A and B are shown apart, each in its own frame.
Chain A
C-alpha cells in the first residue's frame, strides 16, 4: 500500500497530465462526421507512432557492445518509422480525395 502511495505521489504530475490528456482526446474527437472516421483513425494511428521517440532514446543510450540491444533497437526504430511515415502518408492520401473540386 505504501509502495503504491509513494508511486502515485512520485508521479503525481504525470498522473494529472494523463487525466487531462484523456479529456483532451475525448474533446478532440467529439462530433466528428462518420465520413471522417477512417482518416481520423488512420491519423491517430500515425500519431501513436511517436513511440519511435522512445526507440531512438533507447538507441542513444545503448551500450554499443550489446549486440542484441543494438539489433532490437534498430528494429524498433525501423518499425516506428514505418508506423509514422506510412501512417501520415496513408492519411494524406485518404484526405487528398476530399479536396473540393
Chain B
C-alpha cells in the first residue's frame, strides 16, 4: 500500500493498477478465486463454530444428560435452572472481579516494561526476548509450576521459604480461600505469561511515535519525564491501548486453564467457562443445562462487546483518532 499517496487513489487502488495488469479472467474467474481462497476457512468456520453453536442452542431446550442426541423437549427449563443457579451467577461475578484485577495490571505492567525496554541503550534485544519468552509457555505448564513449586503450601515451597526468613508461618495459598490468596497465584501466573506479549505491542507503537513530537513538546516547555509521557506518549498510544484492553478482556473471558488447574474441588473462583465445563462436560454431563448457560453467556458477550464498541470507539476508524 506504499503507492497510496493521495486520498483519491486510495479509494480505488485496483483501478489504478488495471492498465498494467491485463485482465485475464472475468467475473466467474473472480468468484471462483473468492471461493477458492475463503472456502477452506469458511468450511472450518461452519463445521467448528456455527454448527456447534446451533447444536448448543438445540440442546439447550432438551433434557440432555449423558447424550448429545436428546429426545425429551423441556422448553426453557434449562434456562430457568441456570439463571436461578447460584453457581452460574457467581461465576459471572468471579469473571468480573478477575477482569477488573488482571486487565489494568497487565496493561500497566506491559506498558511499563515497554517504556523501560524502549529507553534502554544496551542489550535491548536481550531484554525484549527475555520479557517476551514466557508467552511461549503453556498455561497448564505454568500453572503446575506455580502450584507445585512456587506457591506450594509445604514448608519448602518457594514463597513459604521466603516468608519463613521473616518468621511468617506457612500459607496455604490455594486450599484456603480466606484470605483469598488464590487470586495472587492466578493473577501472577497470567501476568507472567501475558505481559511480554503486550509489551511487544506497546514497543511497536512507541517506536512509531515521531521524534518531532517530542522535539516540539520540548520547545513548548514540556518537562521530560511525567509531563512528556502524559501529554505526548500516552495520547499517541491511544489506539494501541484500546486494542490491548480489548484483547486483554477477550483473553480474560477465555480464562480457563489456570483456574481449572489451580483450584480443585472448590465452590469459588470459577469463571463462566470453568463452571460450564463442570456442568456440561465434567461429572454431571448435563449438556442441556450447559448449553443453556453457554447461550446466556454468548448473549452477554455480544451485549458487552457492542457496548464496548460504543464507549471506546474501537473499529470506528478515522474518527476515533
A interacts with B: no
* Interface residues in chain B, defined as those with a beta carbon under 8 Å from any beta carbon in chain A: none
